Amino acid sequence: MKAETNFSQIFPPIFDGESYDLWAVRMEAYLEGLDLWEAVEEDYDVSALPENPTVAQMKIHKERKIKKAKAKSCLFACVSQNVFTRIMTLKSAKTIWDYLKEEYAGDERIRSMQILNLMREFEIQRMKETETIKQYSDKLLGIANKVRLLGTQFLDSRIVEKILVTIPERYEASIAALENTKDLSKITLAEVLHALQALEQRRLMREEGSVEGVYLAKWKNKNSGKNKKKELFQENRHLKHVCKSHEQQEEANIVEDQQEEGEEELLSMSCFMTKKPSKAWIIDSGCTNHMTYDRELFKELNKTDISKVQMGNGAHLAVKGKGTLAIKSHSGFKLISDVLYVPDINQNLLSVSQLLGKGYKVLFEDKNCVIKDIHNKEVFNVHMKGKSFALNLEEEPIINEDTS
């Protein structure tokens, strides 16, 4: 009884003549919560009591009569004054409901025209350069939900296809990663939005002045007889597979050029401006695979069809295998599967797209990166340090034993 009293205190939706389809959905749910929808939907007759009625018959008769009166009262109370003047002479809740539907929802011909206009609006949508993924997806979902309210099915898969086809070229790397890790015919809308928003968050951090994934290069040229130094600005891009569909990501980096006579070109790189290999794992939305330089971390290492990975400047790094890591932490040994062994990098990379491909969720919120498993259980919670998310598996609390 107390729960029923609390529910009745919820303010009912008020209909003012606009957005009837939204109001009808909310009003139906409200009446169902009060156990009054039956009186609107069926418009049953309350039979007269027989002679010498029993107590049970009298109780049922009274309840059915009261429900009809309450349903009518609710509908009167849930419309504006202008709408009320149109329905105040109607005698039953069913009659009121049908009148409002006919008056404001329109007939089938009008609804069909509305659906056609909405579908046309959906088809012409294109994401603007100034829009975010959330703004664009909200706009598409708004149109789709209007179509659904008019009684027509509109699958999320259609929204997924629309997003993948119409977003700007700067998201091409994430789309390529999804193509490599997921069946796009079965991918969910949430997975697509998480992947694209992760890349968007990464770009935003770069625009704020972050310098991530820096490669320090030494250039030795056989045409010079003297040692000299000069500054060379080189575009920095994430390590990624050789794939034409991957976009080149822009970021400037200062490298040192040393020239010595008689020596050939030599290129060496170091992630995040570190001379020594780092044991931390960078959570990277631009990298399509987990990668490590440390052979000793592998529990098992197998051959792989991937022979090399490519940097943005065209240089290629050899891939020596693919396997599963066994890492000792404070909470025991933890496993990371499908990791590429790339000896020539000195920064471990944890791929966001590969995590998403395994059903994990990756959320960037309030300078934290939260990774959850397929059961929505938190696996990692990493705070942003120096404009990046560096996960130290020997320090971070880890819940699950398999981070794929």
pLDDT tens digits, residue range 90-106? 988 999 998 998 888 76
What pLDDT is stored for residue 276 in this prediction? Answer: 57
Confidence of residue 287 (pLDDT cuts 50, 70, 90): confident
Query: Which own/partner pairs from 16-24 qualify as long-range (CB within 8 Å, at least 24 positions apart)?
Result: 16/79, 16/80, 16/82, 16/83, 17/80, 17/82, 17/83, 17/104, 20/100, 20/101, 20/104, 20/105, 21/105, 21/146, 21/149, 21/150, 22/149, 24/100, 24/101, 24/105
* 212, part of any domain: no
Comparing CA positions, the residue from 153, 177, 179, 316 lying closest to residue 242 is 316
88 and 182 fall within a common domain = no
Out of 144, 179, 200, pick the residue that ends a domain.
200
Out of 71, 105, 139, pick the residue that ends a domain.
105
CB neighbour class for 120 (10 Å; exposed up to 12, middle 13-18, buried from 19): exposed
116 and 77 fall within a common domain = no
**Per-residue pLDDT for 274 more than 80?**
no
Q: Over pLDDT 90: what percentage of the chain?
A: 14
Confidence of residue 122 (pLDDT cuts 50, 70, 90): very high
**Per-residue pLDDT for 398 more than 80?**
no
What average pLDDT does the segment 120-125 reach?
A: 93
Q: Domain total for the chain?
A: 3
Q: Is the pTM of this model over 0.85?
A: no
What pLDDT is stored for residue 334 in this prediction? Answer: 63
146 and 98 fall within a common domain = no
82 and 130 fall within a common domain = no
* 172, part of any domain: yes
CB neighbours of residue 302 within 10 Å:
10
Greater pLDDT, 400 or 162: 162
Greater pLDDT, 395 or 302: 302
CA–CA dist 234, 221 (Å, integer): 17
What pLDDT is stored for residue 52 in this prediction? Answer: 78
**Which residue is it, tokens 């969720």?**
361
What average pLDDT does the segment 10-30 reach?
A: 87
What pLDDT is stored for residue 328 in this prediction? Answer: 58
What average pLDDT does the segment 189-206 reach?
A: 83
**Per-residue pLDDT for 295 more than 90?**
no
CA–CA dist 58, 50 (Å, integer): 9
**Per-residue pLDDT for 255 more than 90?**
no
What pLDDT is stored for residue 75 in this prediction? Answer: 92
284 and 380 fall within a common domain = yes
Tell me the average pLDDT of the chain: 74
* 250, part of any domain: no
Greater pLDDT, 311 or 379: 379
* 365, part of any domain: yes
Between the ranges 66-80, 215-229, 240-254, 327-341, where is the mean pLDDT highest?
66-80
100 and 119 fall within a common domain = no
pLDDT tens digits, residue range 330-344? 445 667 788 888 888
Residue-range definition of the domain harbouring residue 162: 110-200
What pLDDT is stored for residue 392 in this prediction? Answer: 78
**Per-residue pLDDT for 367 more than 90?**
no
95 and 170 fall within a common domain = no
> What CATH number is associated with residue 324?
2.40.70
* 236, part of any domain: no
* 217, part of any domain: no
If phi > 0 it is left, if psi is from -120 to 50 it is alpha, else beta; for residue 334 that is beta
Confidence of residue 236 (pLDDT cuts 50, 70, 90): very low
* 225, part of any domain: no
What average pLDDT does the segment 184-211 reach?
A: 77
330 and 381 fall within a common domain = yes
294 and 352 fall within a common domain = yes
What pLDDT is stored for residue 208 in this prediction? Answer: 56
What pLDDT is stored for residue 394 in this prediction? Answer: 60
100 and 139 fall within a common domain = no
* 196, part of any domain: yes
Q: Over pLDDT 70: what percentage of the chain?
A: 73
Out of 105, 122, 140, pick the residue that ends a domain.
105
Token couple for 325 = 């890591």
Confidence of residue 183 (pLDDT cuts 50, 70, 90): confident
What pLDDT is stored for residue 332 in this prediction? Answer: 54
What pLDDT is stored for residue 231 in this prediction? Answer: 37
130 and 41 fall within a common domain = no
286 and 309 fall within a common domain = yes
